[in-house]
Amino acid sequence: MLMIMPLKYAISGRLLARLESSCWMSCAQHARHPRQPTLPTHLGGIRLYSHHASNNPKTSRSWASLASRGAIAVGFAAGSLQLLSDDSYENGDGKVEAKIRTFRLAEVKQHDGSSKNPWVINGISVYDITDWVEAHPGGEVILTAAGGSLEPYWDIFTIHKRPDVYEILEQYKIGEIDDAELKDGRVPQDAIVDPFQNDPERDARLVTLTPCPRNAETPEGGLREFITPNELFYVRNHFWVPAVDGEEHKVIIELTDGSERTYTVKELKQRFQRHKLMTTLQCAGNRRKSMTDGVGPTNGLQWKAGAISTAEWEGVKLVDVLADAGLDIEKLPPDAQHVHFSAMETYGASIPIRKAIDPWGDVLLAFDMNGAELPRDHGYPVRVIVPGTVAARSVKWLSQITISEDESPTQWQRRDYKSFCPSDVKNPDWQRARSIQEMPVTSAITHVEPTRGGRGEVESFCAEGYAYSGGGREIIRVDVSVDGGRTWHEAELLDDEAKVSGSRAWCWKRWRYKGQVPDDGKTVSEAVLVVKATDEAYNAQPQTYESIFNTRGNLATAWDRAKVS
Amino acid sequence: MLMIMPLKYAISGRLLARLESSCWMSCAQHARHPRQPTLPTHLGGIRLYSHHASNNPKTSRSWASLASRGAIAVGFAAGSLQLLSDDSYENGDGKVEAKIRTFRLAEVKQHDGSSKNPWVINGISVYDITDWVEAHPGGEVILTAAGGSLEPYWDIFTIHKRPDVYEILEQYKIGEIDDAELKDGRVPQDAIVDPFQNDPERDARLVTLTPCPRNAETPEGGLREFITPNELFYVRNHFWVPAVDGEEHKVIIELTDGSERTYTVKELKQRFQRHKLMTTLQCAGNRRKSMTDGVGPTNGLQWKAGAISTAEWEGVKLVDVLADAGLDIEKLPPDAQHVHFSAMETYGASIPIRKAIDPWGDVLLAFDMNGAELPRDHGYPVRVIVPGTVAARSVKWLSQITISEDESPTQWQRRDYKSFCPSDVKNPDWQRARSIQEMPVTSAITHVEPTRGGRGEVESFCAEGYAYSGGGREIIRVDVSVDGGRTWHEAELLDDEAKVSGSRAWCWKRWRYKGQVPDDGKTVSEAVLVVKATDEAYNAQPQTYESIFNTRGNLATAWDRAKVS
């Protein structure tokens, strides 16, 4: 008998929780009845779990693909249920032993991810997660913790840090760490592996919001350039930066008929025509802090205006690879509706298939960024680039592409990157709300340089910034106001077009405005600049945040404001 | 020596002037120096005029195509300049005769559009416009006036009604109407042909803004239906409704290499696969009155929320016809950037070629509307349907399609259907502003039904309306507020999807909201409903009109408001 627990739905983190929301009800519902098997014994029972994960025939391979889509399944043999009681446990070898057996750290370490019987530590307790792992052979993420402490991982996947989940864990307990190993009654810090220990070094100029996982804004200097230097490109990581095989790293492509094709990065580079593409990437939470400041608390990284950058990417067209893998582009199967991208570290998201095959959609599998190999923070050795679409879909460290009838089942597709009616603060309808794909028009002031007169008072100023709209909709006008939006002046749009490659207007536009401070005396030192942009569909930014406020703080696109001095 | 005057740029009308703006500087500039030839004698000189009109080799055919694109050229032989003076004139036969010759109406009538020497009347004066017409063999519009009075036409093309243009006209004067023909010193009304005399009868329920040309809104009842009945579909005519040949009506297709292909409507129907497409059409000026009421005067038809309707159209795909006519769709010539549509009555506009060939663009040449032959007001026998794009590009009474490097040169492309920085009220930069194509997100309240309590006070209400966005971007949410926008409630989106055909979300969404009037006493009778919509790119409507105000009153998309009672 198997119990399947949609841990991946549940994946979050202490950091994520602070930043990008956390709870996921279906997990809690499963967790509430940890020992009551709810699914049939055959693997097909995963359907209930994987309702949104796959529409393919279930094969042993499907486990791996579920996992690589971001699914972690928890399973155990129903038979073992009979043997367990409060004062006995079954270890991985099937032996029933007395409780409170003690282990040395070295012994636990032997039960690492490569062991037949992986163990983990939580607090000073030791757990045999063999049955758990058995049911999800692709669950690399949980195996990462094996041989050591769960805690650093559960600090990321914070959904586990609740009484009902700990209750489940207790049922796997096989003993505790020997007193001799403890310091001040705890497992010493150096025995606990830091999942972020292999993260790359970063440029000190980046404005760091969280170090682990690394989330950092492009600093003002970077935002003033049309092309953001690689080392100043904003970083949005949901987890650690995965270790990689480089050219030998594999990307699996799975079609709706269950057929698969695997390419190494080397093959992708050699077999397909390479393309260059210049595009802006923007986080759904860019400018979130201004929404928070304007209305109230939002649940996510408090980005200022630097969660956006522009680069030239080089890679191969996704559509070419999909066609090579056997997808009939001219006549798509009716169940080919979405393209899922799964990352090595567990992140996953999807885009509508039409974007993927649109001849002017320009979706790339990219290897290079601004003429250099992809930096590790930006997806080395291969990432997806989906221009015109929220950057959350441009999945880094790509490991699998899956064609599916449904959207990706991950929380980043089904939950985090959505927006709601402004009044739905307490109970937003996650299911009904649309996943963010193309982004709405926005703009920001990134630099204001006042010119002072003889007595030190501000007389004039030069303001700079960017404007951007999703879907390749070109910015056609940027208006600036020095009187809070009563009167407007058209800003100069910088002539960056000549540099741009791609089928649509995928890049931000930089603007500049030189103006006078209003001479009404009162406002000289308090003059507030306001900026708003218009895209080619004449869509406009909302004036304030009240009307687009959402608990996630996504799409903070109201007029931007800055003081002159 | 030829002088080319871009009359078509100048075309407007008394009604249009009131409604859709009028002056056109380049025309005024030409008109200021009527007898100073500014162009070389060879026909290639038209390049200056036709800079935006054509990039094709100039042939005699090009005149016709210019005209059919909406261009009217004024030309005269330089030699005749020498013969003209204040007391002599050259008639069409080259004879110099004494001034103030008089004519009978019957004689003028013989010089109609079919005559070798067309004449027109203005006031009681008679003018020989032979040289004028000679230079523009395709100028059917001016020939329509020949044999009778110019006045009804200049009432439409009001740009002519200015001293400098009358000055030009005077130079063609050959005499006056015989006193015996005059009544009260004027040409009798029944001798003046009404260009609108053949306009069709209309449904009395339409909300008429102007009878000639006919502009009328869909009434409230029509707006509550998902599919607007043909007789209630809003009417937006720039001129009269042209007379047509039905199945024998011809559509010319001209490619960038100058090659042409002509199809009768019958051939179009027989040769190409037919498609059905459901789409909403919306005027750029829909809801203009609310912008005027909100901010101040705007130059255009003062539409309420009824310049929008939805129908199912049936026709053939434009891309199929273009391919048949010889356009290489797979590898477009580099100068194939825009597709111009010219109408029989003189109207013209263009769309970017990518929209025309987009496999999901769904651009049709339509013959039928809601299962019936196109009504004359809606383009019989053939019109263009450009879903997701401002209705001004869905040209009716189609006579020519021209592939070009540039946008259509007509005022409706280069001038009328644009928007500007809110402060550019007096001197908007017509050239720099982008032609409206895809439209921004909008919504409207079309019906409010209050429920009254025992004492007659409003207790609750049911509101209905529509929401729409351009580019096929689906409406994903409609929010309603009963407190002026402080708090919001999600409206129900009606389940009309099952009825929809087409590659994208081309149709409006109907919404409904049942709510309570706030119980703060003061607001019961004054409660103001507010509605705003969000499209799939999460674009939002602007809160008020100040920030999108433009002198043309285009794209009036601010939140819509209505009183409950």
Query: Checking phi first, is residue A481 left (phi over 0); if not, alpha (psi -120 to 50) or beta?
Result: beta
A161 and A276 in one domain? no
Query: Of B252, B247, B205, which is closest to residue B229 (Cα–Cα)?
Result: B205
Predicted confidence (pLDDT) per residue in A29-54, tens digit: 333 333 333 222 222 222 122 223 33
Lowest mean pLDDT among A235-249, A534-548, B177-191: B177-191
Q: How far is A242 from chain B (nearest CA, A)?
A: 32
Q: Provide the 3-class DSSP secondary structure of residue B262.
A: strand
Question: Do the domain assignments include residue A2?
Answer: no
A555 contacts on B by Cβ (under 8 Å):
538
pLDDT at residue A8 tops 50: no
Asked if A229 contacts A378 with a C-beta cutoff of 8 angstroms, the reply is no
d(CA A122, CA A144) in angstroms, rounded, equals 14
Q: How far is A488 from chain B (nearest CA, A)?
A: 6
A354 contacts on B by Cβ (under 8 Å):
360
Q: C-alpha distances in angstroms, B10 versus B31, B139, B155, B409?
A: 11, 14, 13, 11
- Highest mean pLDDT out of A11-25, A149-163, A437-451: A437-451
Test the B interface: residue of A355, A386, A488, A547 with most B CBs within 10 Å: A547
- How many other C-beta atoms are found inside a 10 Å radius of the C-beta of residue B215? 25
Question: What end-to-end distance do the CA atoms of chain A give, in Å?
Answer: 68
User: Can you give the pLDDT at residue B129?
Assistant: 85
Q: Is the Cβ of A243 closer than 8 Å to some Cβ of chain B? A: no
A46 and A82 in one domain? yes
How far is C-alpha A119 from the chain's CA centre? 28
Question: Do the domain assignments include residue B433?
Answer: no
Question: Do the domain assignments include residue B298?
Answer: yes
User: Can you give the pLDDT at residue B492?
Assistant: 97
d(CA B255, CA B345) in angstroms, rounded, equals 22
User: Can you give the pLDDT at residue B521?
Assistant: 55
Question: Do the domain assignments include residue A355?
Answer: yes
Asked if A467 contacts A496 with a C-beta cutoff of 8 angstroms, the reply is no
Helices (H), B130-287: 130-134, 140-145, 151-154, 163-170, 220-223, 265-271
A438 contacts on B by Cβ (under 8 Å):
473, 536-537
pLDDT at residue A549 tops 90: yes
User: Can you give the pLDDT at residue A453?
Assistant: 81
CB contact (8 A) between residue B440 and residue A537: yes
- How many other C-beta atoms are found inside a 10 Å radius of the C-beta of residue B211? 12
Query: Checking phi first, is residue A460 left (phi over 0); if not, alpha (psi -120 to 50) or beta?
Result: beta
CATH number for the domain spanning A446: value is: 2.60.40.650
Q: Is the Cβ of B427 closer than 8 Å to some Cβ of chain A? A: no
Q: What is the mean pLDDT of residues A178-199?
A: 86
- Mention every residue, 6+ apart, whose C-beta is less than 8 A from residue B110: B147
Query: Of B197, B188, B103, which is closest to residue B153 (Cα–Cα)?
Result: B197
Question: Do the domain assignments include residue A431?
Answer: no
Predicted confidence (pLDDT) per residue in B520-533, tens digit: 655 556 778 999 99
- Supply angle C-alpha A336, A340, A342, rounded to 5: 155
B228 and B187 in one domain? no
Q: Is the Cβ of A492 closer than 8 Å to some Cβ of chain B? A: no
The continuous run of DSSP H or E covering A439 comes out as none
User: Can you give the pLDDT at residue B522?
Assistant: 55
Single pTM value for the model: 0.79
User: Can you give the pLDDT at residue A170?
Assistant: 84
Return the structure tokens found at A111: 């039960």
CB contact (8 A) between residue B547 and residue A488: yes
User: Can you give the pLDDT at residue B23?
Assistant: 27
B354 and B329 in one domain? yes
CB contact (8 A) between residue A421 and residue B490: yes
User: Can you give the pLDDT at residue B437?
Assistant: 98
Residues of chain B scoring pLDDT < 50: 1-89, 91, 96-97, 136-138
A485 and A375 in one domain? no
Which of B354, B439, B540 is nearest residue A537 as measured by Cβ atoms? B439
User: Can you give the pLDDT at residue A80?
Assistant: 26
A346 and A275 in one domain? yes
- Pairs of residues, one from chain A and one from chain B, whose beta carbons lie less than 8 Å apart: 113
Mean pLDDT of chain A: 81
Which of A423, A489, A542 is nearest residue B488 as measured by Cβ atoms? A423
Return the structure tokens found at A343: 């990352």
Query: Of A213, A211, A307, A209, which is closest to residue A555 (Cα–Cα)?
Result: A307
Task: Report how many domains make up chain A.
Answer: 3
**Does residue B236 have an active-site annotation?**
yes
CB contact (8 A) between residue B486 and residue A546: yes
d(CA B406, CA B49) in angstroms, rounded, equals 13
Return the structure tokens found at B335: 């100068």
Asked if B6 contacts B49 with a C-beta cutoff of 8 angstroms, the reply is yes
How far is C-alpha A541 from the chain's CA centre? 25
Asked if B555 contacts B545 with a C-beta cutoff of 8 angstroms, the reply is no
**Does residue B378 have an active-site annotation?**
no
Q: Which residue has the higher pLDDT, A234 or A141?
A: A234
User: Can you give the pLDDT at residue A436?
Assistant: 98
CB contact (8 A) between residue A488 and residue B540: no
- Supply angle C-alpha B471, B389, A442, rounded to 5: 50
Domain termination site, one of A147, A162, A191: A191
Asked if B328 contacts B357 with a C-beta cutoff of 8 angstroms, the reply is no
B164 and B60 in one domain? yes
A466 and A381 in one domain? no
CATH number for the domain spanning B17: value is: 3.10.120.10
Instruction: Find the helix packing angle between B25-32 and B163-170, rounded to 10°.
Output: 40
Q: Which residue has the higher pLDDT, A375 or A146?
A: A375
Residue that the structure tokens 């949104």 belong to: A52
Confidence of residue A325 (pLDDT cuts 50, 70, 90): very high
CB contact (8 A) between residue A440 and residue B539: yes
User: Can you give the pLDDT at residue B25?
Assistant: 27
Cβ under 8 Å to B: A residues 430-459: 433-434, 436-441
Domain termination site, one of A141, A165, A191: A191
Q: What is the mean pLDDT of residues A374-384?
A: 98
State the ipTM, two decimals. Answer: 0.79
User: Can you give the pLDDT at residue A134?
Assistant: 62
Question: Do the domain assignments include residue B18?
Answer: yes
User: Can you give the pLDDT at residue A157?
Assistant: 67
A224 and A148 in one domain? no
Question: Do the domain assignments include residue B429?
Answer: no
CB contact (8 A) between residue B547 and residue A547: no
Return the structure tokens found at B187: 């040409």
User: Can you give the pLDDT at residue A425?
Assistant: 81
User: Can you give the pLDDT at residue B525?
Assistant: 60
Please write down the long-range contacts of B14-17, taking CB distance under 8 Å and 24 or more positions apart. B14/B155, B14/B156, B14/B158, B14/B161, B15/B155, B15/B156, B15/B210, B15/B212, B15/B213, B16/B156, B16/B158, B16/B213, B16/B238, B17/B158
Q: Is the Cβ of A538 closer than 8 Å to some Cβ of chain B? A: yes
Structural domain that includes position A97: 7-191
Percent of chain A at pLDDT above 90?
Answer: 56
A310 and A246 in one domain? yes
- How many other C-beta atoms are found inside a 10 Å radius of the C-beta of residue A545? 23
Query: Of B397, B412, B401, which is closest to residue B344 (Cα–Cα)?
Result: B397
Question: Do the domain assignments include residue A424?
Answer: no
Per-residue b or e along B278-307, where b marks 16 or more CB atoms closer than 10 Å to that residue's CB:
bbbbbbbbbbbbbbbeebeebbbbbbbbbb
CB contact (8 A) between residue A440 and residue B540: yes
Which residues of A have a catalytic role annotated?
136, 160, 236, 283, 417
Predicted confidence (pLDDT) per residue in A81-135, tens digit: 222 333 444 545 555 445 588 999 989 988 888 888 889 898 899 999 887 666 5
Amino acid symbol at B3: M
Q: How far is A386 from chain B (nearest CA, A)?
A: 15
Which of B360, B421, B438 is nearest residue A477 as measured by Cβ atoms? B421
- How many other C-beta atoms are found inside a 10 Å radius of the C-beta of residue A280? 23
